[in-house]
Amino acid sequence: MDWNELLDAATEVRQRAYCPYSGFQVGSAISTADGTVFAGCNVEHRTFGLTVCAERVATFSAVARGHRGLEAVAVVTDTSPPSPPCGQCLEVLTEFGRPDLPILLANLAGERVEYALRDLLPHPFDLEPPFKR
C-alpha cells in the first residue's frame, strides 16, 4: 500500500493541532472506500476533558461527509517509537473500520510501524460479546 498521500495529509494537518496545554501535536489522515482522504488534528480544551484526539476528528469528518467505511489510517506524531491511537479512538475506529483496517504510525524522523486495528484493540466493545452465557 502506498502510504505517501495519507502521511503527507497527516503531517500537514498536524501543524494545525490546537494543543496549548500538552504541546503534543497529532495529525491523522484516513482514506475511505472511494479514496477520499479526511484529515484531523487534536483540538484541546481548557477543561482537558473536552479535548478531542486527531483520529476522532478525522473519523467524524469522514462520517459527516457520508463516508462510513474506513480503508486506512495514518497517525503522525513526533515520538519514537511513533505513538498509537488512544483506546477511545481505537473503539471509534472499530465502529467504521474492519478488524484488518491498516493503521500506520509514523514520526517526523521517518520511522513507520504498521498494525491492523485488531492488533491494537483485540477485544473491542461489542453489543453481542462472545463472552455471553
Please, what is the minimum distance in Å from the beta carbon of residue 132 to ligand THU? 30
**Of 79 and 131, which CB lies nearer to ligand THU in the complex structure?**
79
**Of 11 and 51, which CB lies nearer to ligand THU in the complex structure?**
51
Asked if 55 is an active-site residue, the reply is yes
Catalytic member of 5, 12, 55, 91: 55
Taking the C-alpha atoms of residue 54 and residue 12, their distance in angstroms, rounded to an integer, is 12
Three-state SS for 10? helix
Taking the C-alpha atoms of residue 41 and residue 121, their distance in angstroms, rounded to an integer, is 21
Taking the C-alpha atoms of residue 45 and residue 61, their distance in angstroms, rounded to an integer, is 19
Contact positions toward ligand THU, by CB under 6 A?
19, 22, 24, 26, 42, 44, 51, 53-55, 85-86, 89
Three-state SS for 109? coil
**Of 31 and 42, which CB lies nearer to ligand THU in the complex structure?**
42
Q: What amino acid positions are annotated as catalytic residues?
A: 55
